[in-house]
Structures are given as C-alpha cells and as structure tokens.
Structure 1
C-alpha cells in the first residue's frame, strides 16, 4: 500500500522531520526513499520496518539536547573532530554549546568512520547517477516540501487553517536551476506546468486573442491544478521609481496578478516567479497571502559539481559509445576523477558546468577524429582549457548577483541553509580583488 511520509511517520511513531533528516544525514538518494509527492518507496518501507528500533534511537537523539562532550563520549571520538564537523555543517547554530535538532550523533559517527553498512544494504552504497531524479540538493528538496505541505497534506488546512501558497518566488543567480525547481514543484503537487517567458508575453496575448494579461489570467483560472511560471519576476514586479520608463506589458502583468491573486488558492492556481534577487521587488508583492514563500536556489556545492560533471559527460550515451570507452580508459567514468576540477569551479552555476562538459566533449571528439584511437588522455591541459572557456560567464555582474543572493538567503533562510551559505561565502572570497600592499616612498630607516 502506498503511504505518504506523514502517515508513515505516525505509524512508526517517529517524527516526519527525523525521517527527512535521516535521509540527508546518510546521503541517501531521495528517489530511493521517496516519490516526488513524498510517498514512501518499498525500499524505505522495508528498511524502516526492519530497523525501526534504530530509527527510534535516531529520532530520540536528534531531538535531545547534547554537547560536543556528550557526542564525543558516546561515539568514542576526539572532541576536536566532533566540533570540526559541527562547525563545518552547522555554523553558529547554537552559541551556548548545547545542540538539539538538526545535529545527529549517528550522523557525526558515520562521517568519522562508524559502521552503518546495515543502512546501505537496503539502498546500495550509491545510486547510479543516470537513475537519479536529480543530483544532490536534498536539503533544498525537503525545504521545498515543507513549504508545500498544505498542498501535500490536507490536514494542515482542515485542522490548522494553514493556507496554501498563492505565489512562490524562486530566487538565485543566473543558471542556478530555478526553472528546474519550479517544474519539480509542479511534479511534487501534481499540477500542470505553464511557462510564461518574457519573450512570450506578447505572443501569449495575441495567440490567445486576449487584449491583456488580466483576460489571460481569467482563462487560466478556469483550469484546475495549474502552475504559472513567470520569468523575470524581479523586473516585472519591481518598485517603480520616479521618471522611470515603464514597460506596459510588465505593468499589465503586475496589476493583473495583484488583482487576481486572492482567487489563486480557491481556484487551485499557483504562480511561481523566477528572480535573480529580491531587492527592488515591491513590498506589496511579497506581502502575506501573496508571494510570501521564498525559495533560495543555490549554485551547486563542490560534491554536487563533481557529480554533475560526470552525469553530463555520460548523459545520453549508449553502453557502446566511443566517448564512454574513452572516459573509462581515463577512469573518468567515476566521480574521483572530477573532484579536482570541481574544486576549481567555485560558485559555478549549473549552466557553466554544462558549458564545460560540452566543450570537453568537442575537444575529445576532435582528438579522436585526428588520432583514430580510443586511447586518448584527458589531460590537465585539456581540462584547464575547457575550464577557462566555461568561466567566460563568471563575470563581475554574475559575481555581484551571487553576493546579493548570499545576503538575501542569509536574511531569509540561514537556519535551514547555514552550511551552504557559509561554503558559498568562502568560495566567493576566491574572486575578491586582493589589494596590493601600500609601499611608502623612500627608504626604511632600518635599511642598510
């Protein structure tokens, strides 16, 4: 019988939050454990039933107060190593040295070499990249699922009066995957997905024979379970300044959306706006009951970059593909090969990673056509050339977007993404201009 995670957690007498955190702590692939709409898979159901006692211990530990001394003593590991992991993953979570929720003794033990093979026996040590629904981002997936809880769990509305969102803003630097997550939201709540690109605004109105966006919305409100994805949301909904030239299409969309947004929840319409940043968006748009659900979309971290590089290099290849043979000859069909390159791709967006792999594929193909052999070395020089080429989008404007995004994500969601925010902040530092030391004119009195 298919069971939702909420129902399943009640049956096990384990909190839903603990199940979600457990999946993240042990780096289990979400698709191994949950369907997109948070139904439990057969694999996870079998594991949970057979290892229920362990999950209960995990649940109790996750929700109990503990210090680094308590954790160190329990897992018989040096306190310094425990503190290092906590500071790396949960910076500044508690100043008094007492940790509760989000920090698991079992997770720290696992990272320090504890034997939890009995967990992976149910899921495999890793899922083939090509079989994954998406790579990494477990924390973002569960954050989004929490925001969508009123759609997924009617009990929130019936027993608690918690309303469904009428509007969501997904925000992040260019190329970070905002449209991917908008489509993922549609999949999670089983809504139809309609994309409204900036270039389509006029054609939508003309093709649908509507004179304005208001009439277009009125037609969409007649549909059921629909997501409207609006590109350039920050530009369309920005606070207007005096003497500013206003795009009439933008103004039409803005006013029509404000006029109809109260109908969205009733008619099962959800609008998702895509924004590079939140600054400048009119406060009236982000008011409660409107676009008050804000979802940060981060550039991939180092591990995710390595996985994405491998995924994109092998994407769409059949088992006899020449490129796959060349990758295997270089051991580039495994993640360790890509870790050094991924380390150099600080703050790279998803788009930049795709650019890199496309460039590399073309270079490898050229070498193959020239040498007529599969014994081609994917050398450091080739990788560096592709890295330089793909970094062309790493402009000052992009880095400023990342800086602004970091500030906004910290203000809105630091408690949920502290580790990501601190890691991204460190990566961004690599591109900060270093000031040359000022040398005084003349000689130092101590010089000979």
Structure 2
C-alpha cells in the first residue's frame, strides 16, 4: 500500500505522517520504501494508533504559544523554549509558533514516554540492511519535488509540472551521485551518466557523433535520468572574470535548445555542482534547471551511523574484526560519539577514508599481538583521524563556506537546522593568527623551533 493511500484511508494527511517520522527519528527503512510503499510494521502502527496521528496532525497545523505547548505535553516552559530556540524563524512576531512545530515532537526530544511508538519498529532493522542512513529531511524534501512524477493528478489538479532539470549542489564528497541515483529509483527512471567524451564530437564505428546526437537518442528512450557531473563548470556564466571553454558553451546551447522537450519526452537531467553561484541565469530560468537541492555533509548523528555502517558492512559475525569491534562495544553507535565530535564538516568520503584507515591499523596491531581483545584506543582512532583529515584542506573549507552562502540564498526555510549546525561546525576552523616572534636573538629559555 502506498503512503498516500494509507493516509487517505485513515483520514490523516501524508505530510503530517512524513513529519511524524522525522520528529520521532524513525528509520525510513522501517516505515516506507523508496517508492513510498508502507512497511508492514508502520501500517500496523498507523491503524492501531490513528487517534494519536490525528491528534499529532491537529497540533502540527495549529499556531501555538509556549504556554499552550507546555499544557499539551506537560513539560516545563524553559525546557520547551530551549528545545526550539535553534529554530527562531518558526516564531511569529506575536509570539505564536508556526504550525511546522509539533508539541509531541518537542516532548519526544525532552524524554516523553512514547514506547507505544517504538514497540513497533526502530530496533528490529539491522544496520547492514539499510538503504541509506539519516537524511530523512532531504529524502522527504526531494520526494515532494518529485511528486508530479509519482502523482500525475497533481499536474491535472494544480498545474504543477515535472521539473525538466534538477541541480544537486554541495561540497565534494557529500554524496551527490548517490542522491541522483536515489532520484532515479524514486521515479523509476533509468540512470544514465553523461560521460565527458559525450559532450564533444567523437567517432563510433566510423560514424561521427556529437552531444546533440546523444541527447536526441536519449529522448527516444523511455524514462531516462541523465546525470551530468561538473555542472557548475560546464554551465558557468559568461563574463569578464570567467573564461568559459568553447566546448562548454556549445554544451550549454545544446541543452537550452532541447530542455523544453525533456518533460514530454520522459527525460530528467540532473546536474551535480559544488556551487550554484556562478551558473548562468539562463540555465536557472523557470522550466529549465529551476530546482536546486542542497546535499549537506553528514551531521554528527549521521557521522556515527555512517562510520558504524562502514566498519560492519558485510562482516561475518565470526570475523576477527567484528569480534574486536564487539569487545570494544564499537559495534554500537555510542562508542563513536566522541570521535565524530572531532570530525566537524567531514564529508562522506572522509568518513569512509577514516574507516578504511582504522581497519588497516586494527589489522596491523592484531598481526603483531594476536590478541582478539585488543583495545581500539586513542592511538588507533587519532591515527585514522589524521589520515582522513588530509582532505580537510583550506580549499575544502572554502567550498563549505560557499555552500553555506548558496543554501542560505536558495533553501533557507527548508533546512534551517542543518544550516545552523554546519555553520557552527565551520566556525570552529576559523584560524587564529599566530603571534610573531620578536626580531632578535633567541633567549636561552626559549624552545628550539
């Protein structure tokens, strides 16, 4: 059963159910599939607790004061204010909180008893079976954008059309190609990467072909997603400061010529960009690539889950590494909480680098000691951390700063919590100027440099 069908049957909006999943930190894999098929446990929960879901929806849709929230969930006002102070834009000038805040979501974060929710799911799904970790907010944001693909009635009823082009933007290593594949999976389109050599002129079986021919061929196929990397470089605006390559200008012209036909021909082009700041405005015009989706580096909670997933992926329970992880309680998320605090603004790629380095260091120590109960100590963790941090360059930090500027301009209302968290993490890397040594001879009590 599709989520929208269940929501209609229970007389509860699908939007409130999506928000409920986020408020209660439920794993998507326990609730719905990528195509929004409802999982058995979640359907059972929804049917048995429809009264609570309706109560949740009513509260979510209501503008409310702190006093009203406190009365609803029986929690102290000061704790409630602290729980929502990081989301100030949800406060009207008259002191009321907008309907996007759930009293019950706040209560859950303050330790409210919701065992009746978690009895159904949350602890049953093995981490190894997860399709992806965290990012519930981004998944639902993307699914809303893709609704015209999933529900053709939306176009008939509201005139909301399928996007012809989407830009996924974010710093390197944040998983843009993963999300492009996920978009193709959600809308059931065939994923096709546009290789760089497709953009120029080439010879196949002695016949000359070019990018225009390639696009025409793709539009004859049924439901295809074209993924184009380095979109910001290829689609760069022409001006005195930017020297745009002639081949890129030609690619721009070809795409602009065909983009109006993408929707009717069953084509969706998804571009991957580090930034949208320098992309030509003609490309971003309505009906072209007017949908931009930010792909954030993982937050602290997601970093822990990604590390655990990568450390245990495909491991046999009898493997040496799994035994060592279990002996250190490193097969559970809390073990990694202190380490991820040192990984501020780390990309997904950096986290994978960390786990690969750590696995090798554990293996090397085991080969020396032959001790299955060896301790995963600070020496091992910090060594792997240094290896992973090699990609944490000044250029990367500048890319994070540019990404924050982009997302504040384009998607501020949609990802306020992520923006706030990423901004705070980036600020920890602000350099402090080292005092200069006075000119002259070194005194005896000074350390040699």
Correspondences of 1:4-403 after superposition (within 5 Å): 4-88=2-86, 90-96=87-93, 97-125=95-123, 127-198=125-196, 201=199, 205-207=202-204, 209-242=207-240, 245-403=243-401
1:154, 1:172 → 2: CA distance? 30
Distance in 2, Cα, partners of 1:144 & 1:210: 38
| 1:200–1:430 CA distance, 2 compared to 1 (3 A) | farther
Question: How far apart are 1:206 and its partner, in Å?
Answer: 3.9
Closer/same/farther in 2, CA of residues 244 and 335 from structure 1, 3 Å limit? closer
Greater Cα offset, 107-116 or 37-46: 37-46
CA distance in 2, matches of 1:301, 1:289: 33
Higher mean displacement: 251-260 or 324-333: 251-260
- Does the Cα contact within 8 Å between 1:347 and 1:428 map onto a contact in 2? yes
**Structure 1: runs of 5 or more not aligned:** 439-448
How big is each residue's C-alpha offset from its partner over 1:270-329, in whole Å with a ceiling of 9 and x where there is no partner?
Answer: 000000000110000000000011100000000000111111111121121110011011
Distance 1:243 1:52, change over 3 A: closer
- CA 1:45–1:211 in 2, change beyond 3 Å: closer, same or farther? same
TM-score normalised by structure 1 residue count: 0.93
Once the 2 structures are TM-superposed, how far is the Cα of residue 125 of structure 1 from its aligned partner? Answer: 3.6
Match of 1:444 in 2: none
Determine the C-alpha separation between the residues in 1 that align with 2:197 and 2:375: 43
Distance 1:387 1:109 in 2: 36
Q: 1:326-374 CA deviation, whole Å, 9 max, x = no partner? A: 1011111100000001111000000000000000001111111111221
Q: How many residues align?
A: 435
Distance change (3 Å), C-alpha of 1:421 and 1:126:
farther
Partners in 2 of 1:200 and 1:375 — Cα distance? 53
CA distance in 2: counterparts of 1:243 and 1:397, whole angstroms: 19
3-state SS of paired residue (1:227): strand
CA distance in 2, matches of 1:422, 1:126: 32
Task: Describe the shift of the 1:205–1:44 C-alpha distance in structure 2 as closer, same or farther (beyond 3 A).
Answer: farther
CA distance, structure 1, for counterparts of residue 204 and residue 310 of structure 2: 36
CA distance in 2 between partners of 1:290 and 1:100 (Å): 33
Q: Tell me the TM-score normalised to structure 2 length.
A: 0.93
Inter-partner Cα distance in structure 1 for 2:415 and 2:244: 36
Residue number in structure 2 paired with 1:443: none
Separation in 2 of the partners of 1:391 and 1:331? 24
Distance 1:197 1:91, change over 3 A: farther
**Distance in 2 of aligned mates of 1:418 and 1:124:** 26
Q: Which shows bigger deviation, 119-128 or 29-38?
A: 119-128
Q: Post-superposition shift, 1:199?
A: 6.2
Aligned-residue RMSD, C-alpha = 1.9
Match among 416, 419, 432 for residue 417 of structure 2: 419
Query: Does structure 1 residue 404 correspond to structure 2 residue 438?
Result: no
Deviations 1:380-406 (A, max 9, x none): 111111111111111111111111111
Unpaired runs of 5+ in structure 2? Answer: 437-449
- Residues 90 and 101 of structure 2 are in contact (CA less than 8 Å); yes or no, is this contact kept in structure 1? no
Contact 1:214 1:252 in 2 (8 A): no
The whole-number CA distance in structure 1 between the counterparts of 2:123 and 2:424 is 30
| Partner SS, residue 89 of structure 2 | coil
Match of 2:443 in 1: none
- Paired residues of 1:28 and 1:126 also in contact (CA < 8 A): no
Partner secondary structure for residue 220 of structure 2: coil
- Native 8 Å contact 1:205 1:216 kept in 2: no
Worse-superposed segment, 268-277 or 75-84: 75-84
Q: Alignment partner of 1:124: what SS? A: coil
The residue matched to 2:272 in structure 1 has which SS? strand
- What is the DSSP-based 3-state SS (H/G/I as helix, E as strand, rest coil) of the residue aligned with 1:373? coil
